[in-house]
A and B are shown apart, each in its own frame.
Chain A
Amino acid sequence: MIPEQFGYSAPTSLQEAFSLLQELGEDAKILAGGHSLIPMMKLRLATPFHLIDINKIPGLAYIREEGNTLKIGALTREVDLEESTLIHDKYPIFIDASKLIADPQVRNFGTLGGNIAHGDAANDHPAVMIALRAVVEISGAGGSRTVAIDDFFHGFYMTAIEQGEILTEIRISRPQSKFGSAYHKVERKVGDYATAGVAIALGMDDKGICTYAGIGLTNVNATPMRAERSEAALIGTNLNAEAINLAARHASEDCQPSSDLRGDEEYKRHQ
């Protein structure tokens, strides 16, 4: 399968990329890891007129901590998250999620920015971002702005990124309390997209009382979803079985899964 004809540019600076985006308008698409976009182009589900490859722009791939904030460059690959000691030690949720994404070859190329910018509720990182209450930096010719993750996903393949803009950074502020996070997904086979997935981040004070709860759900709604009632059911408790059961019940009541090849609606609610 070969994609339809398109033009190609590989700018070497963000400024150059912004001018190209402005010049080419709506039909130009950004190429990051290419592991969502190229499969879609081969199937002709996407037929961009021009690709702007951002892989030659230096300085877009990094993982660093500044004070209490984790900053991840949009072009950071899954494999770099998997292999980062900072991520291993402090944000294991990324390891949980990354190692369940496709396979090593795909993870060598797929980027965190692309995973989110794609705006697909079947992808795994959006739920992680929701659990961690990430803030996304979006840049354009006029400068940068930040968008809270709850305002980022607008619909199927639609996000807050406007024409002419590039997602440049993901920021996560770590709660001060004792903090833990994990991601779990049910899949049909290794490397498949999630039938359903859940990302959880929890913070507790010294007395063991839950002070932070972030819960994101994968592929059970048209957009990646925050389980608000479930979060509320955990906060202020000592995370006893009763609170956890209530949170789980809320999550299964509040989601809107669609039946597809990976399972029918009832099956997904049950997860």
Chain B
Amino acid sequence: MKKTINIKLNGTDHSVEVEPRKLLVHLIREDLSMTGTHIGCDTTSCGACTVLIDGRSAKSCTILAIQADGKEITTVEGLATAGGLHPLQEGFKENHGLQCGFCTPGMMIRAVELLGKNPNPTESEIRWGISGNLCRCTGYNNIVKAIQYASAKMRGAELPSTEPEFV
């Protein structure tokens, strides 16, 4: 039996009919056509499907759409503003933090919550913080640098060098 739910996705209100078994990631990608959020493993392991639900990072392949009723969802499409790229997007761009880009939306969304709770994380805190997000390409070093860059930018600190590291 379908039920109507109300969600706010990247600032826009939506009222949608869903079957209880519909996964949040499918609602976002298929019904609401925001395809920045990816499906990698579909088994709660890779983090490609990470979105923010009321500010909490969540693997949207493991949340029912109906559980998001009344909540605010942010996906990668919600990061940039009219003023330009989000500091994390800029960090990934400047530091070669992506190669194929499949993991990137989930990585950046996860890093939003990480930096919100811990604005100046150590390298090891960053690595722990993204331990639920897998990347098959970069070897993670440039992702860590990208997050360090965003952290500095968001704190108004001096930006670290963006010499990319190839591994």
Please indicate which of the listed interface residues B44, B45, B47 has the most CB atoms of chain A within 10 Å of its own CB: B44
With A190-B131, A191-B131 already in contact, the answer to whether A104 and B64 are too (CB < 8 A) is no
The residues of B that contact A39 with a CB separation of less than 8 Å are: 43-44, 62
Interface presence of B9 (CB below 8 A): no
> From A1, which residue of chain B is reached at the shortest CB distance?
B42
Q: Which residue of B1, B19, B50, B67 is within 8 Å of A105 (Cβ)? A: B50
Q: What distance in Å separates the Cβ of B81 from its nearest Cβ neighbour in chain A?
A: 25
Query: A220–B114 Cα gap in the complex (Å)?
Result: 34
Which A positions have Cβ atoms within 8 angstroms of B?
A: 1-8, 10, 31, 34-35, 38-39, 41-42, 51, 53, 55, 79, 99, 102-106, 108-109, 190-191
Whether B42 contacts A105 by the Cβ 8 Å rule is no
Q: Which residue of A1, A34, A103, A190 is within 8 Å of B63 (Cβ)? A: A34
Q: Knowing that A39-B44, A104-B110, A191-B132 are A-B contacts, what are 8 other residue pairs whose CB atoms are under 8 Å apart, sorted by A's residue number?
A: A4-B21, A5-B21, A7-B20, A103-B131, A103-B132, A104-B57, A105-B132, A109-B58
A to B CB contacts below 8 Å, 24 in the list: A1-B42, A5-B21, A7-B20, A31-B67, A34-B62, A38-B64, A39-B44, A39-B62, A42-B62, A51-B20, A55-B67, A99-B128, A103-B131, A104-B114, A104-B128, A105-B57, A105-B59, A106-B44, A106-B62, A106-B132, A108-B58, A109-B62, A190-B131, A191-B45
Query: A150–B45 Cα gap in the complex (Å)?
Result: 32
The residues of A that contact B50 with a CB separation of less than 8 Å are: 105
Query: A188–B156 Cα gap in the complex (Å)?
Result: 40
Q: What distance in Å separates the Cβ of B76 from its nearest Cβ neighbour in chain A?
A: 15
Q: What distance in Å separates the Cβ of B38 from its nearest Cβ neighbour in chain A?
A: 14
Per CB-CB distance, the 7 closest pairs between chain A and chain B, nearest first, are A103-B132, A8-B20, A108-B56, A3-B21, A105-B132, A105-B59, A103-B131
Whether B20 contacts A42 by the Cβ 8 Å rule is no
* Interface set, chain B 86-111, CB cutoff 8 A to A: 110
Whether A102 contacts B132 by the Cβ 8 Å rule is yes
Please indicate which of the listed interface residues B67, B114, B128 has the most CB atoms of chain A within 10 Å of its own CB: B67
Interface presence of B34 (CB below 8 A): no
Q: What distance in Å separates the Cβ of A11 from its nearest Cβ neighbour in chain B?
A: 14
Whether B64 contacts A34 by the Cβ 8 Å rule is yes
Whether A104 contacts B63 by the Cβ 8 Å rule is no
Whether B57 contacts A108 by the Cβ 8 Å rule is yes
CB 8 Å contact bits of B115-131 with A (1 = contact, 0 = none): 00000000000001101
Q: What distance in Å separates the Cβ of B157 from its nearest Cβ neighbour in chain A?
A: 24
The residues of B that contact A31 with a CB separation of less than 8 Å are: 67
Whether B63 contacts A38 by the Cβ 8 Å rule is yes
Interface presence of B23 (CB below 8 A): yes
Query: A2–B19 Cα gap in the complex (Å)?
Result: 11
Interface presence of B143 (CB below 8 A): no
The residues of A that contact B19 with a CB separation of less than 8 Å are: 5
> From A41, which residue of chain B is reached at the shortest CB distance?
B21
Whether B20 contacts A38 by the Cβ 8 Å rule is no
> From A109, which residue of chain B is reached at the shortest CB distance?
B58
> From A83, which residue of chain B is reached at the shortest CB distance?
B117
Query: A5–B21 Cα gap in the complex (Å)?
Result: 6
Interface presence of B66 (CB below 8 A): yes
Query: A2–B42 Cα gap in the complex (Å)?
Result: 10
The residues of A that contact B45 with a CB separation of less than 8 Å are: 191
Query: A258–B131 Cα gap in the complex (Å)?
Result: 28
Q: What distance in Å separates the Cβ of B159 from its nearest Cβ neighbour in chain A?
A: 26
Whether B20 contacts A106 by the Cβ 8 Å rule is no
The residues of A that contact B3 with a CB separation of less than 8 Å are: 8
Q: What distance in Å separates the Cβ of B50 from its nearest Cβ neighbour in chain A?
A: 6
With A103-B132, A191-B132 already in contact, the answer to whether A53 and B57 are too (CB < 8 A) is no
